[in-house]
Structure 1
Amino acid sequence: MQPRDVRTAEDARRIVEERGLDHVRVAVFDIDGIMRGKYMAREKFLSALEAGFGFCDVVLGWDSNDQLYDNTKFTGWHTAYPDAPVRILPESCREIPFEDGMLLFLGEFAERGEEVCPRGVLRRVLERAGRLGYDVNAAAEFEFFLFEETPHSVREKNFRNLVNVTPGFFGYSMLRSSVHAEFYRELLDTARRMDFPIEGLHTETGPGVLEAAIGVDGALAAADKAALFKTYTKVLAQRRGWMATFMAKWSPEWPGQSGHLHVSLKGRDGRPGFHDPAAAHGIGDLMRWFIGGQQALMPELLSMIACTVNSYTRLIPGFWAPTQASWGVENRTCALRAIPGSAKSQRVEYRVAAADINPYVALAAAIGSGLWGIEHRIEPTPPVEGNAYEKEFPDGLALPRTLGEAADRLRTSGAARDLFGDAFVEHYAATREWEEREHRKAITDWQLQRYFEII
C-alpha cells in the first residue's frame, strides 16, 4: 500500500503494519504555521487512530520562540497547560524519503482546541463555501532565500554578513540552477514523494533566492501542502549545511519574499464559478463580488496575512508589494490580481501575502473574505490600470502600517467574528498583540546606530 492510497483509519493501520514500523511521526501546525510533532510508538498510534491523542496545548499558547503568551484565554498558567485532544488525519499520510520508509501523519486539534486551531478555522471557512454551493481550489507560491550558513553560524554572526548560496542578480537563471542541480532535484523529488508537487521552480532576482509554485488542489489540501513545503525546504537545506528563510524581508537591500495565494471556485456540478465569457475579461458576477469582499475586508484581516512585525517592512511602495487594498486585471502592482483566461484557469491571486504566512490562516482570510463578498454582493472599486503605487484610493482601503494596528482591526471586525468565530478572533488577535509587544522590547541596530552617541 502506498501513502497516497491511505484514506481511512483502517488504511493507516494497514500501511503501518505492512511496513513493520515501530514508530511513526505525527505533527500539527501552530498559530505561526510552525510544524510541531513527535515520534509516536506504533501501539499508541494505532489506538490514537480511533480515539485521538493528547497534545500539550502549549503549542497554541506560545510564540515562534516558545515564549508563553500572557494575554490569551484559551490556555496559559491559569489553565495549567493541559493536554488538548488531537485527531489524526489518515488521508494526510506521507512517506519521509530520507527516513527509511518512515511515515508522517498530520493532526488537527479537536473539541475546544478546534476553535483556535489554524487548520480548523480554514476547514470551517470551506464548510461555509460548501453551504453556498461551492468548492474552493487554491495554490501557493513562495520565494525564499538560501544561505551557506547553519543554525549555529547565523547566531555566531548575529545574523550579519551572511553568505548567500549565489551572488548578485540572476532571475530565471539556467546557470545557477544547473550548478546547484542536486539541490533542485532533491527538492523536486521530495516534493513529489511527499505529495506537495512543485509546478515550477526557478531563481528569482537576488542572491540565492528561489521561487517555487506548488500544484493546485482543494484549499484544505493546498494549505497542508504549502505548510509542508515550507518545513521540508528548510529541512533539506539544513541537511546539506545550508539554511532557507521565509521571512517577509530579511534585508533592506532586497525586495521582500512573496507567498502569493491563488484561489478559484467551482460549483458542485464541477463547473468553474469565476469565468463568464460574456463579461469584460471573463470576470463574472461571482468573481467580481469575491474580489469585492477580499478588497473590502483586507484592512480588517491583514494581521491574518501579514502576521509578523517583519511583514510590514515589505509593504512599502516600489518593492513588488502592495500598500493599499487595490485590485487590477493582470496587474502585479495590486494587492489582488485578477487572472483571466480559460474557465479552468481563471482565478484571483492574493498578492499581499508574503512567504512568512501561516498557510491555513492566510487562506482562511483570503477565501473567507471572498465568500463574504459573494454573500453581500460587494462591488469592488474600478480595477487599477497602470501603477497602483501612484493611484489615489479611498481612506478605507489603506492597509494598517503595523502588526499592532492590524491586530486591533481584526479584534473589532464584525465580519471576522462572523467568518472565523469569536474564540479564534480573540485568540489570534491576542497572539499578534503579544508579537508586537515583544518587538517593542527590542533595542535594534538602527536605534543603537542612530542614538547611542549623538542624542
Structure 2
Amino acid sequence: MNAPPMPKNVEQVLAYVRDKNIQQVKVGLTDVDGVLRGKYMARDKFENSLEKGFAFCDVVLGWDSNDQLYDKGKLTGWHTAYPDAPVRLLPETLRLIPYEKDTPFVLAEFEGYAEAACPRGLLRRVLNKARHMGFVVQAAAEFEFFLFEETPHSVRDKGYRSLRPITPGYFGYSLLRAGVHADFYQELLDLCRAMDFPLEGLHTETGAGVLEAAIRVDEALHAADKAVLFKTFTKILAQRRGWMATFMAKYSRDWPGQSGHLHVSIQDAATGKGLFHDSAKPASMSETMRWFVGGQQRLMPELLAMIASTVNSYTRLIPGFWAPTDASWGVENRTTALRVIPGSEKSQRVEYRVAAADINPYISLAAAIGSGLWGIEHRIDPGEPVKGNAYDVEHTPERALPRTLGEAASRLKDSEAARALFGDIFVDHYAMSREWEESEARKAVTDWQLARYFEII
C-alpha cells in the first residue's frame, strides 16, 4: 500500500498523536557517518519537544561509527564534557513504521552551536543558497547492497569471512533470482511505499546476492531523508528475517563495489522549468548545466572526502570496476565520474557516479550540489566530454582524485571553495573525523599483511 497522507506541521502532528492516542514516537537523526541514531519518546515528551525542541547528547557528532570518541575534536569532546545540544523535530518528516503497529517516526536535526556540523543542516544551507540563486534542486539516490544469509552474531563468529550470500554467482537483472525471492522484494517494495521512500526500480546487480534499488526523485532535502531511511530500514527488514544487508563500498576483493549514485537536476524556482535542458545544444546541455557539471568536475578532487568518506571507499575507486578514478565527465558514459543523461526538460540530469553506497546522503548531496552551484556562479566550463573508455584517457593532474581518505581529508581542509560553501566549522570538524577514520585503519593488522609478511619477511 502507498504511504497514507501524513500531518506536515506542528499543529497537525499534535492533533494526530492525540487523536490516535499514540503512546510513544520514535525519533532519529544522523551522525557524521550517516548512521541514524535515535530513541523512543513518550507522547507527552514528544508533544513538548515538538513545540519547544529538546536536547540530545552532542557525542553523536563526536564519535565514529563504532562509538569511539574522536581525539582532536574542537566542537565537542572531553574538553566540553559532551553536553546536550539543542535539537528540533521535523514534523514534515512524520511517517509510520508498519511492523511496529504503525508507530510514528520523525526525523530531527541539530540546531544552535551544533548545527554547523549537522549533516542535514549542511544540506539545508546549500539548498538555501540554491533558493537565493533562484533554483530548486531535485535529486534521487540509487544504492547497490549485498544480502547474506547471516546474522550480526554469525558474521562476527566467522570473522566476516566465508559469508553466505542469498544467491550465488553473477546474475544481473535476473528474473529468476527475483522470482525465487519475490517475498523479500515485495516486503521491501511495500515497506518503501508505506514509509514514503518509494522505489522506482529494484533488480539484481552483477554479483552474488547483490541488489540495486533506485529511489524516486524528490526535492533534494527530502531525497536525502529518503536515502537515509532506505539504508536503515532495508537493514532492519533484512535482519528481521535472519539476513544481513551491507552498504559497504566494497565488501570483498572478489566482487564489484557497491555504488550510491546521485542524480541531480535544477529547476527555476519561479516557474518550475527545468534548467538543464536546451534542445539546441549538444547533448541538450544548457549553459547552466555545463557550468554545473564544470563546478562538480573542478571541485571533485577537493571535496572527495565528503563523498568517499570511509577507508573502504577507496578500494572501489580502481579501473575496470564501474567506478571512476578521475574527475571526468561524459554523455551517457558509465566509465566517467559524472554522467550527463540527456532527456526532456524534466528528465535531463547529471549522475554523480563517484559516490558509493557507504555515503552519508546529506553530506554527499551537499558536495554534489554545492560544487555545481559554485560552477554556475563562476561559469566553469567542463571542456569536452570523454568518449569511450575513461580509464584509457590520460587526464590532467588537477583532475586526479585523491587515492586515500587521508589525502582527501587534507585536500578538503585546504579547499577555499569548501570553506566558502560549507563553513569553517563543518570543514574542520569533518576533515578531522576523516583523519581519525584513517588513523584507526592504520592500527589494523589485516589478513593481507599476515599472509604477506608472517612467514616470509
TM-score range relative to shorter protein: over 0.9
The equivalent residue for 2:133 is: 132
Structure 1 runs not aligned, ≥5 long: none
Q: Which amino acid aligns with 2:303?
A: L
The equivalent residue for 1:78 is: 79
The equivalent residue for 2:167 is: 166
**Aligned-partner Cα distance in 2 for 1:247–1:101:** 30
Three-state SS of the structure 2 residue aligned to 1:26 is strand
Identity among equivalent pairs (%): 69
**Aligned-partner Cα distance in 2 for 1:173–1:196:** 24
**Aligned-partner Cα distance in 1 for 2:213–2:274:** 25
The equivalent residue for 1:321 is: 323
The question of 1:223 aligning with 2:224 is answered yes
**Aligned-partner Cα distance in 2 for 1:421–1:289:** 22
The equivalent residue for 1:425 is: 427
- The question of whether the paired residues in 1 share the 8 Å contact of 2:305 and 2:412 is answered with yes
> After superposition, where does 1:22-421 map in structure 2 within 5 Å?
22-268=23-269, 269-421=271-423
What are the Cα deviations for residues 368-422 of structure 1, in whole angstroms up to 9, with x where unaligned?
A: 0000000000011210000000001110000000000000000010000000010
- 1:317 offset after TM fit, Å? 0.2
The equivalent residue for 1:445 is: 447
Cα RMSD, aligned residues only: 0.7
TM-score by length of structure 1 reads 0.99
Three-state SS of the structure 2 residue aligned to 1:98 is helix
- The question of whether the paired residues in 1 share the 8 Å contact of 2:4 and 2:194 is answered with no
- 1:3 offset after TM fit, Å? 6.0
**Aligned-partner Cα distance in 1 for 2:6–2:228:** 21
Three-state SS of the structure 1 residue aligned to 2:64 is coil
**Aligned-partner Cα distance in 2 for 1:232–1:185:** 14
**Aligned-partner Cα distance in 1 for 2:4–2:131:** 27
Q: Which amino acid aligns with 1:114?
A: E
Three-state SS of the structure 2 residue aligned to 1:11 is helix
**Aligned-partner Cα distance in 1 for 2:311–2:59:** 22
What are the Cα deviations for residues 209-245 of structure 1, in whole angstroms up to 9, with x where unaligned?
A: 0000000000000000000000000000000000000
What are the Cα deviations for residues 32-62 of structure 1, in whole angstroms up to 9, with x where unaligned?
A: 0000000001001000011100000000000
Aligned pairs, number: 454
**Aligned-partner Cα distance in 2 for 1:53–1:444:** 43
**Aligned-partner Cα distance in 2 for 1:109–1:324:** 35
Q: Which amino acid aligns with 2:178?
A: S
**Aligned-partner Cα distance in 1 for 2:86–2:55:** 5
- 1:19 offset after TM fit, Å? 1.8
- The question of whether the paired residues in 2 share the 8 Å contact of 1:276 and 1:282 is answered with yes
**Aligned-partner Cα distance in 2 for 1:392–1:267:** 37
What are the Cα deviations for residues 230-275 of structure 1, in whole angstroms up to 9, with x where unaligned?
A: 0000000000000000000001011100000000000021100100
**Aligned-partner Cα distance in 2 for 1:355–1:145:** 10
**Aligned-partner Cα distance in 2 for 1:169–1:394:** 35
- The question of whether the paired residues in 2 share the 8 Å contact of 1:306 and 1:312 is answered with yes
What are the Cα deviations for residues 72-92 of structure 1, in whole angstroms up to 9, with x where unaligned?
A: 101000000000000000000
**Aligned-partner Cα distance in 1 for 2:6–2:444:** 49
- 1:105 offset after TM fit, Å? 0.4
Three-state SS of the structure 2 residue aligned to 1:137 is strand
Q: Which amino acid aligns with 2:147?
A: L
- 1:162 offset after TM fit, Å? 0.2
**Aligned-partner Cα distance in 1 for 2:13–2:409:** 40
- 1:14 offset after TM fit, Å? 1.2
Q: Which amino acid aligns with 1:338?
A: V
TM-score by length of structure 2 reads 0.99
Q: Which amino acid aligns with 1:83?
A: D
Q: Which amino acid aligns with 2:95?
A: R
**Aligned-partner Cα distance in 1 for 2:250–2:372:** 27
**Aligned-partner Cα distance in 2 for 1:306–1:280:** 31
Structure 2 runs not aligned, ≥5 long: none
Three-state SS of the structure 2 residue aligned to 1:434 is helix
Q: Which amino acid aligns with 1:286?
A: T
**Aligned-partner Cα distance in 1 for 2:304–2:4:** 36
Q: Which amino acid aligns with 2:286?
A: G
What are the Cα deviations for residues 110-139 of structure 1, in whole angstroms up to 9, with x where unaligned?
A: 011110000000000000001110000000
What are the Cα deviations for residues 278-319 of structure 1, in whole angstroms up to 9, with x where unaligned?
A: 111110100000000000000000000000000000000000
**Aligned-partner Cα distance in 2 for 1:192–1:40:** 25
Q: Which amino acid aligns with 1:345?
A: S
**Aligned-partner Cα distance in 2 for 1:33–1:97:** 23
Q: Alpha carbons of 1:256 and 1:323: their partners in 2 closer, same or farther (altered >3 Å)?
A: same
Q: Which amino acid aligns with 2:371?
A: S
Three-state SS of the structure 1 residue aligned to 2:283 is helix
**Aligned-partner Cα distance in 2 for 1:92–1:163:** 36
**Aligned-partner Cα distance in 2 for 1:264–1:244:** 30
**Aligned-partner Cα distance in 1 for 2:337–2:5:** 35
- 1:97 offset after TM fit, Å? 0.5
**Aligned-partner Cα distance in 1 for 2:216–2:18:** 31
What are the Cα deviations for residues 167-207 of structure 1, in whole angstroms up to 9, with x where unaligned?
A: 00111111111111111000000000000000000001110
More displaced 10-residue stretch of structure 1: 13-22 or 198-207: 13-22
Runs of 4+ aligned residues of structure 1 deviating over 6 Å after TM superposition are none
- The question of whether the paired residues in 2 share the 8 Å contact of 1:258 and 1:354 is answered with yes
- The question of whether the paired residues in 2 share the 8 Å contact of 1:407 and 1:433 is answered with yes
- 1:4 offset after TM fit, Å? 3.5
What are the Cα deviations for residues 84-105 of structure 1, in whole angstroms up to 9, with x where unaligned?
A: 0000000000100000120000
